Structure 1
Amino acid sequence: MVTHLVLLRGINVSGHNMIKMEALKQLLENMGFQNVQTYIQSGNVFVDAEEEHGATVGFKIKQEIFKEMGLEVPTVVISKSDLEACFANNPFLKEKELDTKKLYVAFISKELNSSHLNDLKMSQFKPDEVHIDSSRIYIKYAVGAGKTRFDQKYIEKKLNVTATIRNWNTVTALLNMYNI
């Protein structure tokens, strides 16, 4: 069995794509996943599966949510090693007096490289800052996530990917859950 962290994009936000976590848990258990555990209402769920490939797990879950609930919900699946690398490689964590409430991570559905930074045209979002590492974009918002146009929709459009953003406190909690 392999434990996968499945991040569902865009559920339970401003009354859209509403999925109760208990209903999601039941749906995933009915699919055969074991040890299903959700974290808060924004679509973070751990599942144990025989399938090793996260992309396959995410695709099956996306298909089943559409079939059973009629909702188009993109997924990004994160392994424990991916989440550990997220902590090891976040350049903003080296800053003194960092306000983690302004720190976010966009998890991306495919590998990125430094040339993708040009595609994001970050100069128009100053003083927000970003750093790309593999399939993650580390974001430090100058004011806050609610006051910027640099969001998941923008990232998806510019890079032609599926992206889902989590704040640093959620990322920290998810890593702690992986370690339990």
Structure 2
Amino acid sequence: MKTYIAFLRGINVSGKHKIPMAELRELCDSISLKEVKTYIQSGNIVFKSELQNTSELESLISKAILKSFGFEVPVIVKTTSQLRDILNDNPFESEDEIIRKQVYFVLLNDLPKISELTKFKVESYENEEFSISDSCIYLKCKVGYGKAKLNNNLIERKLKVLATTRNYRTMHKLLELSY
């Protein structure tokens, strides 16, 4: 049995797509996910499963949420080793940046097309830096993510992929919970 981390996009934001975490854990138990833990209200689930395919797990969770809560929620699933690699590859790793809460991780569901990536790589945003890997865009938002122009919606629109964003603290906590 392998440990996975599911990232739900857009739940419990501004009163929309409300999913209580206790109900989400029960739902995950009902679809045979094991040792289910949630972290904060933004849709982070750590669980174990016999299934080995992250796409199958994404579909399983998404369909269960639709059936139970009546709305679609995009889901991105990563293995513990994928999450660890994402954190280890963070180019903005420094105590000063982390303390000021400037570092964010935009998790990508699919690889963007080369043509979209090429156009995106030359973009520039004041007080913001980014670095791109296969499964994540690392953001450094010098004035905070709330004021960032380079946000999840913009990245999804420009790269034409599903994405969800988490901060440094959340990513590290999820890795810790996965052990």
TM-score normalized by the length of structure 1: 0.91
Residue 149 of structure 1 and its aligned partner are, at CA, apart by 2.4
Aligned to 1:173: 173
Q: Are 1:130 and 1:139, in contact at CA under 8 Å, matched by a contact in 2? A: yes
Aligned to 1:147: 147
Q: Are 1:117 and 1:132, in contact at CA under 8 Å, matched by a contact in 2? A: no
Q: Which runs of 5+ in 1 are unaligned?
A: none
- CA shift digits 1:25-82 (9 cap, x unpaired): 1111111111111111110001211110111101111011111111110011011111
Three-state SS of the structure 2 residue aligned to 1:5 is: strand
Residues 97-136 of structure 1 mapped to structure 2, 5 A cutoff: 97-100=96-99, 101-112=101-112, 116=117, 118-119=119-120, 122-123=123-124, 125-136=125-136
- CA shift digits 1:143-179 (9 cap, x unpaired): 0111122111111111111100000011111111122
Give the % identical residues: 35
Aligned to 2:18: 18
Residues 1-180 of structure 1 mapped to structure 2, 5 A cutoff: 1-93=1-93, 95=94, 97-100=96-99, 101-112=101-112, 116=117, 118-119=119-120, 122-123=123-124, 125-179=125-179
Residue 3 of structure 1 and its aligned partner are, at CA, apart by 1.3
Q: Which runs of 5+ in 2 are unaligned?
A: none
Three-state SS of the structure 1 residue aligned to 2:62 is: helix
Q: Are 2:8 and 2:164, in contact at CA under 8 Å, matched by a contact in 1? A: yes
Q: 1:147/1:4 Cα in 2 relative to 1: closer, same or farther (>3 Å)?
A: same
Structure 1: distance between partners of 2:170 and 2:95: 21
The letter of the residue matching 2:87 is F
TM-score normalized by the length of structure 2: 0.92
Structure 2: distance between partners of 1:121 and 1:31: 43
The letter of the residue matching 1:78 is K
Counting matched residue pairs gives 177
**Structure 1 segments of 4 or more deviating over 6 A?**
none
Q: Are 2:106 and 2:166, in contact at CA under 8 Å, matched by a contact in 1? A: yes
Q: Are 1:112 and 1:132, in contact at CA under 8 Å, matched by a contact in 2? A: no
Larger RCO (CA within 8 A; separation ≥ 6): 2
